[in-house]
Every structure is written in structure tokens, then in C-alpha cells.
Amino acid sequence: MKLYSFPLSGHAHRAELFLSLAKIDHEVVHLDLPSGAHKRPEFLKKNIFGQVPVLEDEGIHIADSHAIMVYLAKKYDLRDWYPDDARGAAEVQRWLAISAGPLAYGPAAARLITLFGAKLDPEVITARAHKLFGTVEAHLVGRQWLASDAHPTIADVAFYSYAHHAPEGNVDLSAYPNVQALLSRIESLPGFVEFVESPVGLRAPSVS
């Protein structure tokens, strides 16, 4: 199984993190995004949107970080990670939607500004990120994980990469101890792989 990836992509990290947590044998292939490798015809055959991550397995291609996690959980029957019952599956889907919505358009977008110079309004984006983290902070009162009381699911994996890197987009997590505890819990799971940090935003070296 191959994962087409890019080291600075949180979407790609999310897929790689799940492959590793679930102990699924895989090879990571880094694409050169700055040179446009993801827009070349051979890659567009794997993903018509020309984006990473893409998983290649037995001649088929699965694009999109959430779709990849669902595919792997289904293929290997990992019901703790992605429950089969109606309510459990719905709870996880709800958090995948939050990951593809407010997490992508809040903390992930804030990091696009500082890391890649994206022309977005930092005030609007960071306000969106803080609104999300405030809501998640309250949700986590008395809970260990986002979608299940008992164990981590792909909902937690989906949340991790861009939440952990929020400070790179100048989004301070210090007001959210429950969110920080969730991130630490994920980092303690066997098979955890780090998402490379970038010295931008609140992680920029201080000038004194």
C-alpha cells in the first residue's frame, strides 16, 4: 500500500498517522508539490482534484484523508476506530465533517497564511479557529475522546494534525486545556507519528 503525501500537509499527516496507529504496512511517497507534481497528468489519474493524500492499494486509488481512514477501517474491520453501529458511525461522521469544515477553514487555513502566504483574512480565520476550539473544549469536559467515551476513533485522528499545528497559524491553544490533553493522549498512542513542525506563527523563533 502506498500513500502519496507531502510532509507539510496536515491532511496527508492524518492519513499517515492512522496507517501507523492501525499498524498497517505502507510506504510513504512524497510528492514535490512546489514543483506541481500533483497537477501532472499521471497524478491527476489518481486524484482528479490534484491533491494529496492519495492511497494506492491493489490497483485502486482512494483520495481524501477522511475517505482513506474510512477505507482502511472498513477493509481491516477496525470497529473501535470506526464503529459499525448506527449511532457510533454517526458520531464519528459528525467529527469528520467538522474536520473538513471548521478545522480546515479555521486552524488549517490560519497556518496557510503564515506558512504559504495565503491571501486570507487572518482576523476572520483566527476568530473561526478560536470559536471551534472553544466549542471542542466544552465538549471534552468529562470526556477522553471526541466521538466515543471508551477509546479513540478516526474522529480524533482527523482532529489531531491541524489542531496540534494551530500555533503555527498564530492560534494560541493555551486557553484550551481539554483540547491540549486530547492532543497529548493521541501522542501517547502506540504507533503515533509526528507531524513535522514549522518555525512560523507562534512557533517562530523569538527575536530579542
Q: Which is nearer to ligand GSH, 100 or 189 (CB)?
A: 100
Sign of CA dihedral 183, 187, 192, 194: positive
Residue 50 touches ligand GSH, criterion: CB under 6 A: yes
Nearer to ligand GSH, 47 or 180 (CB): 47
Residue type, 125: I
**Binding of residue 64 to ligand GSH (CB under 6 A):** yes
Alpha helices (runs of H) in the chain, residue ranges in sequence order: 10-21, 41-44, 65-75, 86-98, 109-116, 122-139, 154-164, 177-187
Nearer to ligand GSH, 64 or 156 (CB): 64
9 binds ligand GSH (CB under 6 A): yes
- The answer to whether the CB of 101 falls within 8 A of the CB of 108 is no
With beta carbons less than 8 A apart as the criterion, state whether 158 and 14 touch: yes
Under rule CB under 6 A, residue 11 binds ligand GSH = yes
How far the first Cα of the chain sits from its last, in Å, is 47
**Rounded least distance, CB 43 to ligand GSH, Å:** 10
165 binds ligand GSH (CB under 6 A): no
Measured at CB, which residue is nearest to ligand GSH?
51
Nearer to ligand GSH, 100 or 118 (CB): 100
- CA-closest candidate to residue 154, choices 194, 186, 108: 186
Under the binding rule (CB under 6 A), the answer on residue 52 touching ligand GSH is yes
The answer to whether residue 66 forms part of the interface with ligand GSH (CB under 6 A) is yes
Q: For the CB of residue 161, give the shortest distance to ligand GSH in the complex, in Å.
A: 9
Number of residues that bind ligand GSH (CB under 6 A): 12
Contact status: 122 vs ligand GSH (CB under 6 A): no
CB atoms closer than 10 angstroms to residue 104 = 15
The three grid cell numbers given for residue 93, joined into one nine-digit string: 461522521
By CB under 6 A, is residue 111 in contact with ligand GSH? no
Which DSSP letter does residue 167 get?
G
Helix (H, G, I), strand (E, B) or coil at 29: strand
Residue 39: CB minimum distance to ligand GSH, A: 7
Q: Which residues bind ligand GSH (CB under 6 A)?
A: 6, 9, 11, 38, 50-53, 64-66, 100
